Structure 1
Amino acid sequence: MENQLEFEPGFSKEEALAEASRCLQCKKPTCRKGCPVNNAIPQFIKAIKEESYETGLDAIYRHSYLPAVCGRVCPQEKQCEAGCILARKGKALRIGKLEQFIAEQGKDVEFTKVVSTMGAVAVIGSGPAGLAAAVQLAQLGYAVTVFEGESEPGGVLLYGIPEYRLPKEVVRHEIEKIKNLGVEFRLNTLIGVDLLLDDLFTMGFQAVFIGTGAGLPRKLNIPGEDANGVMSAIYALQMINLYKLGQLPENELPVKQGDKVIVIGAGNVAMDAARTSCRLGAEVTVLARRGIDQMTARDKERDEAVAEGVKIIPFIAPLEILGEEDITGVKCAPTEVMENGQLRLIEEESFILPADIVYIAIGQRPFARIVSTSEGFEVNKGGLLISDEHGMTTREGVFAAGDVVHGPATVVMAMGEGRRIAIEIHAYLLRKNRA
């Protein structure tokens, strides 16, 4: 049985009005500078005070298309809230919760619909970059088809982020808005497997946007890494989410009650995998190479993980994953930070932690399905697509944005890039059609 422990709920109307009233409506809002998409923060907060939710959402939609998502999962404490002038006194405005509140109050506000007269564009991937690109292109007058390999759209929003952080119904509601805009979704269709990228141009699409993210784990390069029971944290999260969506039987869950799980990594994905497994009854230990304060995970996610029973061991690194047919443990060694900032393994003090399951959460890289079945693409050593300042890859007419270009980042950054590159696609097609 999953532990249903919940933490901070959303604002009530009274709480939202009280928090919005603290906003100073700065003439030069530094909160906007902290937001990767320069969201209209003062405007939507003013709209909350005036209970004019549609006006506030209209202001948000000029910059961001998924406020109900961003209000929940963005690291506001490092972005907009860090830029809030009130943060200097340790009382930053709760901008994320205010965005979540206005999104909930105005959840029936639709995107402005435009008649499709500009031709057709294909979008590969229905994560935050792909969804944002689809909305922007549709609003510019294009007929947009989103190709998604899973049976339901949403990408990492649906399959990679736990329910307690981002409820599935929130994602589904946002996608329904995008469908109502006229965007078509073709599901269970992997580009590079079921269709080739070249097929999309044959089908009449004038340009292609790739927003497939980064779903393959990076390697640890230690003995035992390929043993049965070692898996990426992303894979574990996807399997657990598929189970919760009713698309996977319980006996195929990667973790069960009583399992000893070791998570190698200290980012948000590591925390998500740790907390999700803990809620399924596992005994979870996270290994962090550096100190608690140097973890890349949000402080909030780290602290809530500990509150749920996750054990975090700082200054520790894996040396070997032990076991023949099944995992028995992880051989570890302490680390110390040297004067140059690099880490040194103290192997003479190594020890063994018992384990049944090991999650690897040290970063991801893109799948190679598209580039390996198409010509004209260049990738860097990490497998990331190379693109120019306009978002065009080395393949004419094919654009990309989000994690597939720069590696794992935030939802709001991927969304902002998807929107920006969609505008670049529009400019490219205008030039091409005039030639």
Structure 2
Amino acid sequence: MLMDKFIIQTEAKRCLECKHKPCVYACPAHNNIPEYMSKIKQGLWEEARTIWHSTSNLPELCGSLCQNENMCEGACTLNKIHKPVKIGFIEKGVSELFKEIVDYPKDKINHRHLVIGLGPAGIANALKMAEYGYIVEAIDSNALLGGTVYNLVPDFRFDKSILNDIQHKFDRLGIKIRYNTYVGKDVLLKDLIHEYDTIFIADGLGLPSSVDIQVEHLKVYYAQDLLNKNIYSKKDLSAMLGDKIYIVGLGNVAIDMARTLRRLHKEVHIIYRRTIEDAPAGKSEIEAAINEGVTIHELIGPVSYKMKNKIKLLNCEKTCLVQSTTGGRGLVQRVPNSETYFQIDDLIFATGQKTSEVLFHDSGVVQTPEISPFATNYPHIFVGGDRINKNKRIVDAMVTGLTVANQIAKGSYETNH
């Protein structure tokens, strides 16, 4: 259901339109938020949309899933006296008003562009390239665009019909998509290299990261796989898992896993070797999980997982943080003689993801970050999204897709293939 324009305007009128624009600098896309709010206040909705679209073409995703409290809203001047402007709420509301709008190109360009992977980076890149007038095709391993938004984010946190709206934009812009196709298995990158004038690879982080603990003949699960089974394959996790479940990690995937299991009436505990303040998950998502009954144990890390007298035991040690000599987050150290045991039914790892190199196999393509974060040894092939951001946010992925599209449009690369 569309948000009421009056409600959106009322919230926008709280914006002070600060001249120093702290919210803009806190946004990875550098959206011109004060100017955007000014147009909304005046009822100039199309002008507001144009301003936003110049730096962000996925407001329907960012407005719903961005950790705004850690970015634009966290930097809002109103935090000093009251609550910040609900920038994400406004962004999402305006995107709903204009979800049918497509920016058609003035002219078509005889240049074939391929996007591999349709997560936020790939979607942003494909839409921008099509709007510029390029002939755009895409390949994705899933049955619908969205990447991790499609197959990992639970329905209770994100309305998946929004992805259908984005699909309609692809259709109207003439972007052809090959779904359920794995590059590196169903089709080889080395066979695609010479078919296209430019290629953008944004295949994401397809493999779960492992954890260095001793596991003695017991099955462990990965949150990425379970969420995918629950959302994509509609597997019944309730029958698959026991009643008392421990999750290692405190990113968004861990929180989504925990909240999903609470809806199945499981007892859910999260263990995290740092503090909650250090967690990569959004503060609002952590608060929601706690309110829903998830128990979070901070400053504790797993050591071993074993069976003793037919009881599954998770052995953990307390941890502490010591100041790093190079700055940044503190270093994790184990506290000697601080072991503790938890009797559990199942253990789930949610400690990040890593890239799969199957896509590059036998292609001769390698990333060349010393030249540019987006570059490869083929001047017409670019990379983006989590392949260079490593588990960052949706907005960061989107920015890489837009940056590469703008570079190609400016002709700031060579084509010698």
TM-score over 0.5 for the pair = yes
Percent identity over the alignment is 30
SS for the counterpart of 1:344 is strand
Task: State how far apart, in whole Å, the 1-side matches of 2:379 and 2:312 are.
Answer: 50
Aligned partners of 1:387 and 1:405 also within 8 Å? no
Q: Is the 8 A contact 2:305 2:314 kept in 1?
A: yes
TM-superposed CA distance for 1:120, in Å, is: 0.4
Q: 2:198 aligns with which of 207, 230, 236?
A: 207
Corresponding residue number in structure 1 for 2:117 = 125
Is residue 341 of structure 2 the alignment partner of residue 352 of structure 1? Answer: yes
What letter is aligned with 2:50?
D
Residue 403 of structure 1 deviates from its aligned partner by 0.7
**Aligned counterparts of 2:238 and 2:369: Cα–Cα separation in 1:** 34
Post-superposition Cα deviations, 1:379-432, rounded to whole Å, max 9, x if no partner, equal xxxxxx746327221234210011112311000010011110122233448754
Q: Tell me the distance in 2 between the aligned counterparts of 1:343 and 1:264.
A: 15
2:199 equivalent to 1:216:
no
Check the 8 A contact 1:151/1:187 in 2, yes or no: yes
Question: Match of 1:372?
Answer: 361
8 Å Cα contact 2:115-2:138 kept in structure 1: yes
Contact 1:387–1:394, Cα closer than 8 Å, also in 2: no
The 2-side partners of 1:37 and 1:367 are apart by 27
Pair 1:408 & 2:391 matched? yes
Q: 1:249 to 1:423 in 2, by over 3 A?
A: closer
- Alpha-carbon distance between aligned partners in 1 of 2:90 and 2:381, rounded to the nearest angstrom: 37
1:240 equivalent in alignment to 2:224: no
Distance of 1:255 and 1:423 partners within structure 2 = 49
Cα contact 1:336–1:344 (8 A) shared by 2: yes
The Cα shift of 1:128 comes to 0.4
Separation (CA, whole Å) in 1 of partners of 2:358 and 2:217: 22
Match for residue 312 of structure 1?
Answer: 296
- Name the CA distance, whole Å, in 1 between partners of 2:95 and 2:45: 8
Query: What is the match of residue 264 of structure 2?
Result: 280
How far, CA to CA, are the matches of 1:416 and 1:398 in structure 2? 17
Specify whether residues 137 and 339 from structure 1 end up closer, same or farther in structure 2 by C-alpha distance, changes over 3 A only.
closer
Q: For 1:136, which of 124, 128, 144 is the aligned residue?
A: 128
Give the structure 1 partner of residue 327 of structure 2.
Answer: none
Contact 2:241/2:346 (CA < 8 Å) preserved in 1? no
User: Could you say which residue in structure 1 is the equivalent of 2:351?
Assistant: 362
Higher strand share: 2
**1:106 is aligned to 2:90:** no
- Mapping for residues 386-401 of structure 1, pairs under 5 Å: 386=369, 388-389=371-372, 391-401=374-384
> 2: CA distance between counterparts of 1:370 and 1:16?
44
Shift of 1:322: 1.7
Task: Report the Cα distance in structure 1 between the residues aligned to 2:402 and 2:217, rounded to whole angstroms.
Answer: 39
Distance 1:399 1:172 in 2: 27
Aligned to 2:143, the other structure's residue is in SS state coil
Give the number of aligned pairs: 411
Could you say if the C-alpha distance between residues 192 and 339 of structure 1 is closer, same or farther in structure 2, counting changes exceeding 3 Å?
closer
Cα contact 1:117–1:141 (8 A) shared by 2? yes
Moved more, 334-343 or 9-18: 9-18
Which secondary structure state, in structure 1, belongs to the residue aligned with residue 47 of structure 2? helix
List per-residue Cα deviations over 1:59-85 (Å, max 9, x = no partner): 211111111110111111121112322
The one-character-per-residue Cα deviations of 1:25-70 (angstroms, maximum 9, x if unpaired) are 2334221111111113223323332333333222211111111110
Distance 1:150 1:262 in 2: 29
Once superposed, what is the RMSD of the aligned Cα atoms? 2.6
Q: Is the 8 A contact 1:315 1:335 kept in 2?
A: yes
8 Å CA contact retained: 1:111, 1:178: no
Aligned 8 A contact 1:148 1:187 in 2 = yes
Moved more, 99-108 or 330-339: 330-339
Please give the alpha-carbon distance, in whole angstroms, between the structure 2 residues aligned to 1:10 and 1:310: 32
Choose 364-373 or 337-346, whichever is displaced more. Answer: 337-346
Matched with 1:419 is: 402
Structure 1: gaps (5+ residues): 1-8, 243-247, 379-384
What is the CA-CA distance between 1:16 and the residue it aligns to? 2.0
Looking at structure 1, the residues matched to 333 and 313 of structure 2 have their Cα atoms a distance apart, in angstroms, of 22
Q: What amino acid sits opposite 1:337 in the alignment?
A: L
Other structure's SS at 1:151 match: coil
Q: Which residue of 2 aligns with 1:381?
A: none
Matches of residues 188-199 of structure 1 in structure 2 within 5 Å? Answer: 188-199=180-191
Distance of 2:245 and 2:46 partners within structure 1: 46
What do residues 268-314 of structure 1 show as CA deviations (whole Å, max 9, x unaligned)?
A: 22111111121122211000112232322211111100011111111
What are the ranges of 5 or more consecutive residues in structure 2 without an aligned counterpart? Answer: 325-329
Cα pair distance change 1:390/1:284, threshold 3 Å: closer
Q: Is the 8 A contact 1:236 1:254 kept in 2?
A: no
Letter in 2 for 1:265: G
In the alignment, the residues of structure 1 paired with residue 58 and residue 214 of structure 2 have an alpha-carbon distance, to the nearest angstrom, of 42
* Shift in CA distance, 54/34, structure 1 to aligned 2, threshold 3 Å: same
SS of match in other structure, 2:250 = coil
